[in-house]
């Protein structure tokens, strides 16, 4: 949902990249002009193996 607001320079004209490598990491969103990296936490970041383990714990 956040990408819908960041793409196409909709946020005050700033250009954001999605899934951008920064050093040893891949950040969810990155704006070069602002030197801003955005990482979003949540279920979408758990692989299927982690999701299965988590379901067993609950």
pLDDT at residue 49, rounded to an integer: 52
User: What's the CA gap between 46 and 41, in Å, rounded?
Assistant: 9
Whether residue 1 is predicted with pLDDT greater than 90 in this model: the reply is: no
Two tokens, residue 21: 């490598």
To the question of pTM greater than 0.95 for the whole model, the response is no
pLDDT in tens, 37-51: 999 987 665 555 554
DSSP-assigned letter for residue 58: -
pLDDT in tens, 13-28: 999 999 999 899 899 9
pLDDT at residue 11, rounded to an integer: 87
Whether residue 58 is predicted with pLDDT greater than 90 in this model: the reply is: no
Two tokens, residue 5: 């607001």
């Amino acid at each position: 949902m956040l990408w819908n607001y960041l793409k196409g320079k909709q946020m005050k004209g700033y250009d954001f990249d999605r899934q951008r490598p920064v050093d040893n990491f891949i950040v969810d969103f990155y704006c070069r002009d602002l030197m801003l990296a955005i990482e979003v936490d949540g279920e979408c970041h758990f692989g299927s193996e982690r999701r299965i383990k988590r379901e067993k714990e609950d």
